[in-house]
Amino acid sequence: MTTIKKVNCPSCSKELEWKESNEYRPFCSERCKLVDFGDWAMERHSIPGEEIYPVDSQDQDQ
Ligand SMILES: [Zn+2]
């Protein structure tokens, strides 16, 4: 008896089978994997409530 675990693609919510042969799991495809990674990278660069203002010390002093 083989139980195939099914998961939903985090990117497009499409159901897919969790198989060793699926190198993109938990994503359904390479495209979704790349899309999700892009979103994740974007989120890392924008931390809510913690905006970083570049300080130019030379301008501040004058
Ligand atoms: Zn997908």
Q: Report the separation in Å between the CA atom of 50 and the middle of ligand 1, taken as the mean of its atom positions.
A: 31
Q: Report the separation in Å between the CA atom of 8 and the middle of ligand 1, taken as the mean of its atom positions.
A: 8
CB 30: neighbour CB atoms within 10 A?
10
Tell which CATH classification among 3.30.450.40, 3.40.50.300, 3.90.226.10, 3.30.50.10 matches the domain 1-44. Answer: 3.30.50.10
Given 3-state DSSP classes, what are the helix, strand and coil percentages for the chain, each rounded to the nearest 5?
35, 10, 55
Residue 51 confidence (pLDDT)? 64
Per-residue pLDDT of the chain (62 residues; tens, 9 = 90+): 778 899 999 989 999 999 999 999 999 999 999 987 677 677 766 656 666 677 777 766 66
Cβ < 5 A residues, ion ligand 1: 9, 11-12, 14, 28, 32
Q: Report the separation in Å between the CA atom of 41 and the middle of ligand 1, taken as the mean of its atom positions.
A: 18
Residue 24 confidence (pLDDT)? 93
Q: What's the pTM value of the predicted model, to 2 decimals?
A: 0.55
Q: Report the separation in Å between the CA atom of 53 and the middle of ligand 1, taken as the mean of its atom positions.
A: 36
Spell out the domain ranges in the chain.
Answer: 1-44
